[in-house]
Structure 1
Amino acid sequence: MMERFNRAVALGGACWRVLMLDKEMLLFPILSVLALGGVLGLVFTPAYMYGTLQQFAETLQESGDPYTNPSFVALMFLLYFLGYFVVTFFNAGLLTCAMIRMSGEDPTVMDGLRAAARMLPQIFAWALFAASVGMILNFISSRSKGLGRIFAGLMGAAWSVAVYFAVPALVVEGVGPVRAVRQSVGMIRKTWGEALVANAGLTILHLAAVYLTIPFVFFLVKDWEQDPVRSMVIAALLVVWIAFTGLIVSTLNAILKAALYIYAYEGRVPENFDSHIMRNAFSED
């Protein structure tokens, strides 16, 4: 297990080197957040201005069980769909740029956006499929208690693992959602150790960055009344720090997916990756 962890660390270092060659890849998660915010604003702003949103919230409060309200179910599905569609679109662009770099070429942000635009039918189908599964899992979780809730959580975790390579499959092969899940499961079987350990390592890295802010939070609480302006500046810097580290981790994770998928699908060692590391990543130990 220690050897597998060391290989995962080496993969993470290689992903960092790729990112340093094309720092503009960091723009894709930013564009994703901005686009999602814009889309949700277009959905909710008119409803809020005309009072429809408030009436809808009151109706849900009176009903007790929101899933008995067809409007709630439709709204939830719309939000799931929009979220998956926007995030998948920009992830596809990011993965395209990573794969171009790993082929020895120099990508641009427009290369990624154009590639994602060409895949709109596949992205649309994937968003519908993923939103449906997400709604079902959320419904099961809301109806479960005790061990049932734990089982529902395990189902959600298993789904997250199963679709780890789904978007790379969309990018490389342009397949439909069911085929993408099958391809993803096949890749996970080959790379389960490195993919999951490296992904967990990146998640832990982000959590560590968040935990580093805890002493500053205590300082803010104590200092707020004495110097609120300084406290607000520090609070803003902490938010920027957490967002920036999350941005880097999500981009590194996309690069990792691209590298493992390229090697598993094409049998080619990605540019800037060590052939020994990649071969060992697919070993049985």
Structure 2
Amino acid sequence: MVVTATFIVPIVATDLWDTSSVATYVLFGLMYLATAFVTVFFNAALISQADIALRGGDPSVAGGISAAAGKWPRILVWAAISATVSQLLRILQDRVGFLGTILAAVAGTAWQVVSYLVLPKMVLDDRGVVDAVKDSAAAMKRTWGENVVGNAGLGIFGIVIAIPGVLLIVASLSLLASNVVAALAVLFLGSVCLIVGAVVVSALSGIYQTALYRFSVDGVVPVAFVDANLAQAFRRR
């Protein structure tokens, strides 16, 4: 949010919002890259410490940030690639209509499967971006995993825990006419619920990703996931 505001404020202040100038595209491009870098950076930090925890160690916030900071050039490159792919998929969806939506969904799923283990490979195996992509694609090709199903489950969980926040926001709209202060308070509470839910789902996704990576490398299910039957997530096809 801070990174986004850093770019949005000058865009609005200089009346570039509704223009198609080169400066506008450059600022939006830099904003998208910066937000992608922040996202990937802290996902890398989370993965480094999730791996420590899954192996019985003692994770820490400082340790995660230090691990990610040591690989920031690779993280920046991967953030740029991820942001570019996301933008291309969005353009495809917007420009081709219903067919574009279907193609973007298929391409997005394929990209997610191929790149699913890229970040763990970069962080935990100290692989470069190109090698990490190759390793991730090879791992998925050899041992096709049900990471799509796992992420779909996390997505459903995210929708469920977002319901209270959505209901609070809807309730705040109905309060606007009678009590503005109460409406703003309920709106704030609903927004907080949505943000917390998004953070929880993102963290769970990173932990799940790390667990699948650890199983694919060691062939042993992490203790914390013994009852989750991870062997089925990487069963051979």
TM-score (norm: length of structure 2): 0.84
Retained in 2: the 8 A contact 1:77–1:135?
no
Equivalent residue number for residue 4 of structure 2: 40
Identity of aligned residues (%): 29
| CA apart distance, 1:248 | 1.3
In structure 2, do the counterparts of structure 1 residues 74 and 139 end up closer, same or farther at CA, with 3 Å as the change threshold?
Answer: farther
Equivalent residue number for residue 59 of structure 1: 19
SS in 2 for 1:232: helix
For residues 55-134 of structure 1, what are the structure 2 equivalents within 5 Å?
56-60=16-20, 70-134=22-86
* Structure with greater contact order relative to length (CA < 8 Å, sep ≥ 6): 1
In structure 2, do the counterparts of structure 1 residues 214 and 89 end up closer, same or farther at CA, with 3 Å as the change threshold?
Answer: closer
Equivalent residue number for residue 149 of structure 2: 197
Once residues 232 and 176 of structure 1 are traced to their aligned partners in structure 2, the CA distance between those partners, rounded to angstroms, is: 47
Once residues 213 and 131 of structure 1 are traced to their aligned partners in structure 2, the CA distance between those partners, rounded to angstroms, is: 28
Deviation string for 1:214-238 (max 9, x for gaps)?
5545544444333333333222222
Retained in 1: the 8 A contact 2:44–2:64?
yes
Structure 1 or 2, whichever has the larger Rg, is 1
CA RMSD of aligned residues (A): 2.7
Q: Which amino acid aligns with 2:145?
A: W
| CA apart distance, 1:169 | 1.5
Equivalent residue number for residue 255 of structure 1: 207
For residues 131-280 of structure 1, what are the structure 2 equivalents within 5 Å?
131-189=83-141, 190=143, 192-193=145-146, 195-213=147-165, 215-217=167-169, 219-274=171-226, 277-280=229-232
Q: Which amino acid aligns with 2:64?
A: G
TM-score (norm: length of structure 1): 0.71
